[in-house]
């Protein structure tokens, strides 16, 4: 009986719709030596990994997303994770903070501390990192709209601890383009928003050289419904846009390229996700070398953080999520990530409990220390199937990136509704496949059964009241005349062209709040309303 081809069985394909054959061989690589396209680990174009040693010397940075209730509660979670082997902090902020709103704002009612930690002023950061030496820890902050404000709080705290900026390590997400594309946590119009992003990157290049001031993010694009190819293409197109704008500002590409980082989702299709991460490095390396003329090898590299797919977690039979997270994490490792966050099995129900977080962390540690996968980098390199799939994703992503360029770039394509239409179409096709049974999810439309729900973390309303009380105390105790003067200076500077980071830092050090700083900029920049 002859092998069944994907063309005869159209239901066999990746989540991106790439048709899959039963067998692969040399003919699928057109007789080419994979090394001629992918190089060896640690060599251009870095498809097979950024380092020749892979993880043999140092495993990836192990992070767990942490943030709930107040700074005090999250500080306790940070210390809990560090004491159990976490090697990098990853901070989740609540919705009011993400939107640049203070905890006592009427719009924040019912949301304070619920989906992350509430942060209003530098006083919260002082509690958040109490007893944690910023010189010894790498901290990731998932924040975009007010990213410049939260980064300034981190820098102000470093100054209070006596830690030079040159020793600070970590990442601030800061990627406002993906907010307009997918997550919708924006306030200002795109151009002034981009100014803040570029100001942040430029400041860090000069003052905070070991810190990644941006994490160009495909994660939220994927969670919104995009497939793997779209996630990759949209993310790298955003990256190209930031690079183009920084170069137009007069920065040399080799001066800032090494401080750009990326953030990808790792979903259920095991081999597709490995191939996607391999393709990401290859596309970016060639883009930086051939289009932007970067000369330094480090400028061609794409450092990445990965997170297992939150959207793949199910509220039904939640213990199944432990298995999903494990093989998604394994795909990230085999794909060559530098940093990894594993989701907790109960996150489809609520914020994770201590037990669930521990299982997620132990998942990474078991992969690193028990499976042998760190013994050699890119162990699937040379696989006919994986090399073919990497090439397919590369070609398809490059084509999407060309379409975006043909529309004038990311912002014109965004304003024309291109990204929203593409993501919506893909999400609709996935839901149709799920409803028809063409796509199967165990516990949902396959082997569904009622299971006992695990205990979940609950946020008491007293948390909000306590946070509001703390904020009002800070406002009473600070020098309010100094705050108003700092905010005035920031507003004046926003009308001009100077870098706003030093002025935001002044505001933060005077204990101006996130909401006050955001509002002062909104008065100058205006508010954006999407027509899509």
**3-state SS, one letter per residue, for 80-115:** HHHHCCCCEEEEEECHHHHCCCCCCCHHHCCCCCCC
- Helices and strands of the chain, counted as H and E runs: 20, 9
Instruction: Give the burial class of 163: count Cβ atoms within 10 A of its Cβ; 0-12 exposed, 13-18 middle, 19 or more buried.
Output: middle
> In the beta sheet, which residues pair with residue 260?
214
Quick one: tokens of 81?
A: 């994770």
- Burial label, 83 (beta-carbon count in 10 A; 0-12, 13-18, 19+): exposed
SS3 215: strand
| 120 neighbors 513 (Cβ within 8 angstroms) | yes
CB neighbour list of residue 452: distance below 8 Å, 6 or more residues apart: none
Cα end-to-end span (Å), the chain: 51
The answer, as to whether pTM is greater than 0.75, is yes
CA pair distance 160, 420, nearest whole angstrom: 43
Contact criterion met (CB below 8 Å) for 27 and 283:
no
- pLDDT tens digit string along 185-219? 999 999 999 999 999 999 999 999 999 999 999 99
Model confidence band, residue 5 (pLDDT cutoffs 50, 70, 90): very low
Looking at residue 88, its pLDDT comes to 84
Location of structure tokens 């070609």: 395
% of the chain surpassing 90 pLDDT: 81
Residue 46 tokens read as 């870095």
Q: Which pLDDT value is given to residue 215?
A: 97
**Hey, which residues does 116 pair with through a beta bridge?**
none
350, 457 Cβ separation under 8 angstroms: yes
pLDDT of residue 11: 57
Share of the chain above pLDDT 70, in %: 95
Per residue in 220-277, pLDDT (tens digit) is 999 999 999 999 999 999 999 999 999 999 999 999 999 999 999 999 999 999 999 9
Q: Is the pLDDT of residue 4 over 60?
A: no
Angle at the Cα of 300 (from 295 to 304), degrees rounded to 5?
155
Query: What are φ and ψ of residue 161, in 5° steps?
Result: -80, -5
Collapsing DSSP to helix, strand or coil, 141 comes out as strand
**In the chain, what are the domains?**
26-48+60-436 (3.20.20.240)
Strand order in the sheet with 211-212: 211-212, 169-172, 138-142, 88-92, 61-66, 339-341, 304-308, 260-266, 214-217
pLDDT confidence of residue 164: 97
- From 93-102, 256-265, 321-330, 439-448, the region with the lowest mean pLDDT: 439-448
Region of 140 please: left (phi>0), alpha (psi -120 to 50) or beta: beta
């Amino acid at each position: 009986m002859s092998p069944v081809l994907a063309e005869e069985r159209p239901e066999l394909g990746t989540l991106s719709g790439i048709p899959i054959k039963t067998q692969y061989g040399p003919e699928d690589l057109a007789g080419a030596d994979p090394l001629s396209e992918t190089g060896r680990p640690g060599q251009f174009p870095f498809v097979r990994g950024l380092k020749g040693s892979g993880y043999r010397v140092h495993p990836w940075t192990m992070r767990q997303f942490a943030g709930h209730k107040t700074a005090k509660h999250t500080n306790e979670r940070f210390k809990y994770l560090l004491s159990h082997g976490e090697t990098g902090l990853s901070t989740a902020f609540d919705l009011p903070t993400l939107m640049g709103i203070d905890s006592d704002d009427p719009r924040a009612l019912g949301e304070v501390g619920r989906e992350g930690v509430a942060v209003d002023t530098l006083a919260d950061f002082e509690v958040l990192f109490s007893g944690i030496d910023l010189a010894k820890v790498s901290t990731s902050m998932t924040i975009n709209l007010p990213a410049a404000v939260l980064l300034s709080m981190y820098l102000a705290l470093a100054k209070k601890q006596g830690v030079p900026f040159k020793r600070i390590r970590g990442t601030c997400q800061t990627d406002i383009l993906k907010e307009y594309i997918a997550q919708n946590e924006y306030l200002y119009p795109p151009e002034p928003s981009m100014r803040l992003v570029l100001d942040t990157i430029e400041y860090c290049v000069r003052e905070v050289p070991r810190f990644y001031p941006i994490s160009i993010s495909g994660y939220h694009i994927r969670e919104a419904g995009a497939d793997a190819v779209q996630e990759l293409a949209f993310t790298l197109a955003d990256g190209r846009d930031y690079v183009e704008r920084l170069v137009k500002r007069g920065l040399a590409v080799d001066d800032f390229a090494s401080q750009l980082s990326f953030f990808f989702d790792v979903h259920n299709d095991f081999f597709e996700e490995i191939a996607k991460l391999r393709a990401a490095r290859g596309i970016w390396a060639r883009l930086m070398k051939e289009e932007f003329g970067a000369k330094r090898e480090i400028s061609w590299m794409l450092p990445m953080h990965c997170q297992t797919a939150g959207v793949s977690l199910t509220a039904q039979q939640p213990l199944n999520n432990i298995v999903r997270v494990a093989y998604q994490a394994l795909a990230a490792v085999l794909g060559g990530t530098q940093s990894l966050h594993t989701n907790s099995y109960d996150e489809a129900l609520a914020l994770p409990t201590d037990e669930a977080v521990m299982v997620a962390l132990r998942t990474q540690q078991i992969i690193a220390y028990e499976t042998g996968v760190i013994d050699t980098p890119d162990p699937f390199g040379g696989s006919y199937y994986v090399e073919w799939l990497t090439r397919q994703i590369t070609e398809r992503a490059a084509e999407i990136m060309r379409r975006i360029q043909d529309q004038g770039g990311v912002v014109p394509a965004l304003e024309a509704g291109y990204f929203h239409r593409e993501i919506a179409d893909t999400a609709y096709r996935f839901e149709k496949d799920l409803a028809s049974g063409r796509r199967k999810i165990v516990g949902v439309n396959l082997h569904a059964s009622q299971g006992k729900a695990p205990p979940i973390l609950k946020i008491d309303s007293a948390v909000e009241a306590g946070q509001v009380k703390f904020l009002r105390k800070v406002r009473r105790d600070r020098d309010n005349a100094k705050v108003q003067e700092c905010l005035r200076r920031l507003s004046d500077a926003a009308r001009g062209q100077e870098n706003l980071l030093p002025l935001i830092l002044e505001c933060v050090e005077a204990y101006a709040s996130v909401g006050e700083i955001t509002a002062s900029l909104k008065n100058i920049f205006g508010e954006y309303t999407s027509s899509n």
